[in-house]
Structure 1
Amino acid sequence: PVLSDISFSIKGGEKIVMTGFNGIGKSTLLKTLISQIPSLSGSFRFSEQVKIGYFEQELAWADIEKTPIQIVSDAYPSLTIKDVRKRLAGCGISGKHAMQEIGTLSGGEQAKVKMCLLMMKPCNFLIMDEPTNHLDALAKESLKTALEEFEGTVLLVSHEEAFYREWTQKVINIEKKI
């Protein structure tokens, strides 16, 4: 176990940030909360009304040769190509990048595609693992505005205090107990 003796609660609509040293277990905790990995001990529960949206910091894709248009179309087959392009453009993906293989795009462009997919998923509880890692200043500002305006709950892992200081209500600082 990386983390032990941690306890916290989050109320609906709260904006919470989790900080702590790299490698301490923040990402592992988030993956446990979304049931991507099993809990080694302890327990947690979400309200029945919670619909989770998750942003993973790793830029992993099932097929790195697919374009953002193909990725979004595969996830939402009922959308027209025009609608897919419009959604991608709304997240800052240019027409050129929308037709480029995802594996050839920069980290920032890949993160924007992930944001686009997340924005299309109905949710009221966002769990975001270092979403600003690959974003430029303009994209970070857009994300900050979107998270401020989001009416649901946000649990964010971040090391960038300037990004979250103004809009979060609580900071959970995870530190290893020696």
Structure 2
Amino acid sequence: MSAPQEQHDDEDLRPTFAPGYKPGEQKTLDTYRELDKNDESLNRWKASLGIDGNVPGELSGPKVTVISLTLTSPTLSTPIVMTLADKTDYKKNPITIKEGAEYAVTMTFMVNHSIVSGLRYLQVVKRTGIKLDKMDSMIGSYGPSPTPYTKVFASEEAPSGMLARSGTYTARSRVTDDDMSVYADFEWTFKIGKEWA
């Protein structure tokens, strides 16, 4: 008899917005380049997003490509990297996290074209169908760049004890923006063990 599959309701992966928050209207890169050219502070903001005329205008394909999630810890000698482009099934090949260890997740991503506003990382962790944890982290707004961006999320502490070590946890991760465009949506599993593996 096979183990029951974890079910993740999309309601679990809806971002939380502050009351009254309304995302701004999407604009093309060319529109941003032309916007208030004489406003010095706006020009500094545009330069911080890479809107300086050196990046090509609107192109096809996703605005954001998530490259990897990496787990790091002071107790882990080599970071654990989940590369989304490779064909490893991270749902069928669980990662082992050391019980009680403090660890952090880093996301590496590309912004390919256009500006992405309000990029955020959502993650729901379940075990035997019961939601144990939800993470909703704002990443920020970014302009296109030929080099990847990285975002390190707040450190977490792995559970410990015999009960924590018995069973597999399923995490569903999603990367979205203010317009609710989804750039990555994937599942991965992990176990809690006495040592990293």
Same fold (TM over 0.5): no
Higher helix share: 1
Q: Which has the higher contact order (CA 8 A, sep 6+)?
A: 1
Q: Shorter-normalised TM-score: what interval?
A: under 0.3
Higher strand share: 2
